[in-house]
A and B are shown apart, each in its own frame.
Chain A
Amino acid sequence: MSLDTDTVRKIAVLARIKIEDKKLSPLADELNNIIGWVEQLSEVDTDGVAPMTSVAEMTMPSREDVITDGDCEDRVLANAPDKVAPYFTVPKVVE
């Protein structure tokens, strides 16, 4: 499966990374190279094999329904690049 510049552009949007137009083609080449290489997996017989979802062979641990966290606006906001405490801020979104 080949990636063209259009596909790269679409993926870049999905990943929210701006790619300059002139970089799209060389990037498509690089990615195609890698995708071409990983495609050798299609050689492997995997009929009836369950995908490995977890290395650890254990059941999901859970916690009790108790409040143990929160109430730390200062810590949560400490590293915010732009804030009007106690809110984070972003450029205006129009819905």
Chain B
Amino acid sequence: MSYIIKGETADWELVIGLEVHAQVISNSKLFSGSATSFGAGPNSHVSLVDAAMPGMLPVINAHCIEQAVKTGLGLNAAINRHSVFERKNYFYADLPQGYQISQFLHPIVGEGLLEIQLKDGTTREIGIERLHMEQDAGKSIHDKDPRRTFIDLNRAGVCLMEIVSHPAMHSPEEAGAYVRKVRSIVRYLETCDGNMEEGSMRADVNVSVRKVGETGLRTRTETKNVNSVRFMMQAIEFEAQRHVEMWESGGEVKQETRLFDPDTGETRPMRSKEEAHDYRYFPDPDLLPIELTQAYIDDIKATMPELPDQKKKRFMDELGLSAYDADVLVAERETANYFEVVAKGRDAKVAANWVISNLFGALNAAEKDISTSPVSAENLGKLLGLMADDTISGRIAKDVFEIMFETGDDPEKIVEDKGLKQITDTGAIEAAVDHAIADNPEQAEEVRQGNGKAIGWFVGQVMQKTQGKANPQAVNKMLRDKLGG
């Protein structure tokens, strides 16, 4: 299904490229030994190197190189054994050196491929052009003083991975799916926590439009620092519409950098980026090129966890899950791990249902997530086991689950304590059924006359009488046997 904007004069399609900036999980910064953790007091995670004092020099953090290589492998990308750090020269208050140490001609990771899943069940492969490492900038705070901007350099020098896609997406949905997939992968690899609200992952969106059937690309605009997938998709929609209107009215889209305003859902030009920048890249003479051995790359590859796509395939092929269910379960590594514990030695589809519907439903309502789930995977698994061996019915299981969610208790204990074991003893069921029939002669007559709905009512009566513990299937069968219908 293509995403088309119906303009006044033509149908238009979108061309979208994304630059995702992902903050690397590491203890210290890329080129200095100060801490990277979020939320510290202003300028407390700043060394003399970060503050670009005269004579300061960079020394690279080995772990950051590993994280970048790992991420590249997770994106099915080529790892460049030789890569070079270059200086990107420009002036800004949050850039103490007056240049950012980045990679330009020789990034550490080259071409890659990402598979995205769309709502209609189709998949697409989005090409990745490169991944490179660079320093993050500090923060400018504009609202503390009417005439001054305040500068906090805590973030300056933190390692970023910039992941650049090919301009290969054509709808807001694809862009959203892409970002979610990137996020999922880096979280699996523990190379980035993917937290867009906190800014540890940001997306710059390049949007252009063209008439359907047109080859080549028209002018694109860049919208920066969108900090949620939802906002990104809104920004894309707005920009695309704006471009179409501009072109159709005979104007020209100006190549510029814009900012998204979440309150209005609109973008506006970024004032400070109005002039074209000449970054004058050149290899940083304070550093040497990175030279990686194949053995180094192979070692990292050997430590990689199973990634979402592989896991999904395994869940579908080996466990028989649907594509949709598998997608939901593999989106987060924690969820997948949780599910596998629940499903171990049990019916995978039932397990999937319970995790996706029952557990997630309860977690969402309580504003928790899987890492703070009061119900442990082992316990949920046990609950499924109690259903599987008919100890309790599905209905009872739901009640037990509610108690588990409140107390965190073991289901076996709950069933014991509350005497919830299912009644399967046919004698006892028959007694209850006979009672129900005797107590309700008119309804019994309805059933004999062929009113199928009344059976359900009778089942309900028997269930009530037995505090829900009777096996509903057995009750149903018995009623049919006794009443016909």
Indicate yes or no for A touching B, C-beta below 8 A: yes
A residues with CB within 8 A of B: 13-14, 16, 53-54, 56, 58-73, 75-77, 82, 84, 86-95
Shortest C-beta distance, A92 to chain B (Å), equals: 5
Contact of A70 among B46, B65, B93 (CB under 8 A): B46
Are the C-beta atoms of B278 and A89 separated by less than 8 Å? no
Instruction: Tell me which of B13-21, B129-137, B138-146, B184-192 binds A.
Output: B138-146
Main secondary structure of the interface of B (DSSP, over half): loop
Contact of A84 among B44, B48, B145 (CB under 8 A): B145
Are the C-beta atoms of B149 and A76 separated by less than 8 Å? no
Are the C-beta atoms of A89 and B62 separated by less than 8 Å? no
Contact of B27 among A53, A66, A87, A91 (CB under 8 A): A66
Docked Cα-Cα span, A48 to B425, in Å, equals 90
B59: CB under 8 A from chain A?
Answer: yes
Q: What are 14 sample pairs from A and B whose C-beta atoms fall under 8 A apart? A: A16-B91, A64-B61, A65-B26, A66-B33, A69-B48, A73-B46, A75-B48, A76-B153, A84-B150, A87-B141, A88-B151, A91-B149, A92-B142, A95-B259
Shortest C-beta distance, A54 to chain B (Å), equals: 5
Are the C-beta atoms of A88 and B60 separated by less than 8 Å? no
Q: Output the nearest chain B residue to A93 by Cβ-Cβ distance.
A: B149
Asked whether A72 and B290 contact (CB < 8 A) given A16-B91, A89-B151, the answer is no
Chain A residues with CB under 8 A of B142: 92-95
Contact of B289 among A60, A63, A86, A93 (CB under 8 A): A60
Are the C-beta atoms of A60 and B145 separated by less than 8 Å? no
Are the C-beta atoms of A53 and B84 separated by less than 8 Å? yes
Chain B residues with CB under 8 A of A82: 148
B residues with CB within 8 A of A: 26-28, 32-35, 41-51, 59-65, 84, 89, 91, 93, 140-142, 144-153, 259, 270-272, 275, 278, 280, 283, 285, 287-291
Docked Cα-Cα span, A82 to B145, in Å, equals 13
Shortest C-beta distance, B289 to chain A (Å), equals: 7
Chain A residues with CB under 8 A of B48: 69, 72, 75-76
Chain B residues with CB under 8 A of A75: 48
Asked whether A67 and B33 contact (CB < 8 A) given A16-B91, A76-B48, the answer is yes
Chain B residues with CB under 8 A of A69: 28, 32-34, 47-49
Chain B residues with CB under 8 A of A89: 145, 148-151
Closest 7 CB pairs of A and B: A70-B34, A68-B33, A65-B63, A69-B33, A69-B47, A62-B62, A87-B150
